[in-house]
Structure 1
Amino acid sequence: MDRDGRPGWLPSLGFAFLSFNCGMAVYRSWDDLSSVAFVVVAYVALILLFRCLHLLERAAPGRQGRWLKTAVWALSTLLTLMFSSKVAAIMPLWAQLLVWAMGIFTILAGFYAFFLARPEEP
């Protein structure tokens, strides 16, 4: 971030790349409504996640930080479940179990890190 709160050129380039790729994915799968919905929901969730992370970095400790942590965890959980379901769908059974186990572990580890773990006191 620049000093005035605007993103620098590298995050802006990343956002443009993400937007372009999502637009192309929607264009190529226009006839498949479920694929279009997947791309749109994932895109919106990523944008909201990045915004909530930005606000969380700037927030003072307290109630707002707790709400933002909940939003970050919920959005990352949504994205983990969405992508795990897509990846597991094309895998053999043993790999599906592994994909889902890693996704669930990631969700639980995020919950622990955000809500249960206490930072060490210096």
Structure 2
Amino acid sequence: MDRGGRPGWLPSLGFAFLSFNCGMAIYRSSSDPSAVAFVVVAYLALIALFRCLHLLERAPAGGQARASMKAAVWGLSTLLTLMFSYKVAAIMPLWGAAGVWVMGLGTIVAGFYAFFVHREAP
């Protein structure tokens, strides 16, 4: 069913849940400006990532718009991976922090490979 590019009820419900939780996190962290900034940047990056994914799905294959959307999706997912790796690693012991960073960097490299290096067989 063509909805004209509009999301269905389930993505809308997920967005409402994300927005509510971000609002609650900002409210509870109002005395810590760095925590508020983290939540706001993560929220805006997620919104932008979802929008770019939507545009990537609708972009014609092989076009410049598709290449731009791939770069935007990879950049935003890299930003989010680095942000959350930093927060998680900060509360881990040294060996756990090293593991978090290795997994995060592995995810970033694998995403770059999948988007920009790997070519599907015709």
TM-superposition CA deviations, 1:70-95 (whole Å, max 9, x none): 00000000000000000000000000
Structure 1: which 5+ residue stretches go unaligned? none
Q: Give the deviation of 1:3 after TM superposition.
A: 2.7
Who is 2:74 aligned against? 73
Structure 1 stretches of 4+ moved >4 Å: none
Output the CA distance in 1 between the equivalents of 2:29 and 2:94.
27
Who is 2:58 aligned against? 58
How much is the aligned-residue C-alpha RMSD, in angstroms?
1.0
Who is 2:93 aligned against? 92
Question: How many correspondences in the alignment?
Answer: 121
8 Å contact 1:56–1:68 — kept in the other structure? yes
Q: Give the deviation of 1:119 after TM superposition.
A: 1.2
8 Å contact 1:2–1:8 — kept in the other structure? no
TM-score normalised per structure 2: 0.97
Output the CA distance in 1 between the equivalents of 2:10 and 2:98.
37
- Within a 5 Å distance, the mapping from 1:1-122 to structure 2 comes to 2-61=2-61, 62-121=63-122
* Amino acid in the other structure paired with 1:111: F
TM-score normalised per structure 1: 0.97
Aligned-pair identity in percent equals 74
* Amino acid in the other structure paired with 2:121: E
TM-superposition CA deviations, 1:51-71 (whole Å, max 9, x none): 000000000121110000000
